[in-house]
Structure 1
Amino acid sequence: MPSKEVVRCFECPEDIGGRIRSELQLLFQVDVVGLLNPYSRLLLCTALFTEAYLISDELLNTIKKLWSAGRNPYSAGIYLGRLRKRKPYLIPSTILASAVFSRLGRYVNSVVVSDSGLKPFLYGRDVLKTSVIKAYPTIVKGSPTFVLGIDGYVYGVGIATTNGEDIGRLDESEVVVKNVFDVGWYLRGGTQPKEKKFKV
């Protein structure tokens, strides 16, 4: 979480934790915290924005030792994603999606795009209908949607512009997923302030 401000990390309050768990349940259709056990504790780190992490009890004890020494972790555990004040409340990370899909053995809320569609996506462009090979349930308009390559790798996350069952009715040039984050961001100088990491 690079920032000019001091990063402050703390255990997630119950009300925010409940909202995060609810968002994850809707998105992945499974109890993500239970699925990724022993990473069952929520940690929030905030500066210019707030990011959430899943950590284990053992890691929390280590972090508490850092806090008692007047230090804060830069990040810890499994990166869940960035919190927002408006919908979608949570922009999930590609790291989280990969971990969940690996444990689930299936994909949800995802589109598989062709290589020719993946290349522009990795340069920050949106996913067009012409490049969508397959859509996994249950894509909902306005919700986070993961962008997969034909190799099954999670290359990014975006916001669906339509419901999954309506993708087939779109014109070939229409946008299916608006790019929010793609792994190409790191290659485009992501650690420098040239381009926002998340486009929402």
Structure 2
Amino acid sequence: MKLRICSLSELRPVFNYITRCFGSDVSSFINKEYTVFTTVGSRFQYRVFLLDKSCTSTLAKLARDSRVCGAGILIGWLHNNDFIPSTQLFDFIRRMGHRIGCSIIAKEQGVKAFLYGNDLLLASLEKVLEPAERGWYVAVLDSLDMVAIGIGKLLVSPQEIPMLIREGRMLVPVVKNVFDLGTTVRYEEIFY
């Protein structure tokens, strides 16, 4: 796999997502402290990684003599100029003490269902951490420890949720499962 240190314009979808979901301070912090690079994957066009800037020259030397599959933190994928975040991105941001957005907190039964590849139903939704809008990629968080268990696409706007609850439509899918931590067990090749 070919390692690429990308220009800011190539990474615009990545930084747009980070700014929208976590704020401009997080985006600036990442840009200042980390090198963002990509490797070509098979299912998704590019895998996107964060690497501490102090390690960048070492990685560049290694990449000249060998095939680098990845290094640092896998934060997502670039596919057709669209950024699909990874669960590691959300966990990294949380560990750094920053506010998490673009997330859904799932109840216990929803966590189990989502980890088996199912969509998240309204009955299993505990809370929406905004900003979040229909069609956005969101992290699904376990309500017990706030760890990201997967990534999905939000199927309803947060403003629609109270109406759906009033109508008793609790079995409506609210998050389409894009992938979850169980995906690596079920389909190991998905990330290679």
- Superposition TM-score, scaled by structure 1 size: 0.83
| 8 Å CA contact retained: 1:63, 1:72 | no
One-letter identity of the residue aligned with 2:46: T
Q: How many Å apart are 1:39 and its aligned residue?
A: 4.0
Q: Which has the higher contact order (CA 8 A, sep 6+)?
A: 2
1:90-169 aligned at under 5 Å gives the runs 90-151=83-144, 152-169=146-163
Which residue of structure 2 aligns with residue 185 of structure 1?
A: 183
Pair 1:22-2:16 in alignment: yes
Mapped partners of 1:28, 1:163: distance in 2 = 19
Aligned length: 184
Amino acid at match of 1:43: F
Residue 55 (structure 1) shift? 1.4
Q: Which amino acid aligns with 1:52?
A: V
Q: What is the SS of the residue equivalent to 1:172?
A: coil
Per-residue deviation, 1:82? 0.7
In structure 2, list runs of 5 or more residues that go unmatched.
none
Specify every segment of 5 or more residues in structure 1 that has no aligned partner in the other structure, as ranges: 1-6
Matched to 2:17, the amino acid is E
Aligned match for 2:69, one of 66, 71, 74: 74
Structure 2 CA distance for partners of 1:106 and 1:23, relative to 1, 3 Å: closer
Query: Helix, strand or coil for the counterpart of 1:16?
Result: coil
Moved more, 144-153 or 124-133: 144-153
Q: RMSD over aligned Cα, in angstroms?
A: 1.9
The structure with more helix, counted as a fraction of residues: 2
Counting aligned pairs with the same residue, the percent is 26
**CA–CA separation in structure 2 for the residues paired with 1:72 and 1:56:** 20
Distance in 1 (alpha carbons) for counterparts of 2:34 and 2:27: 5
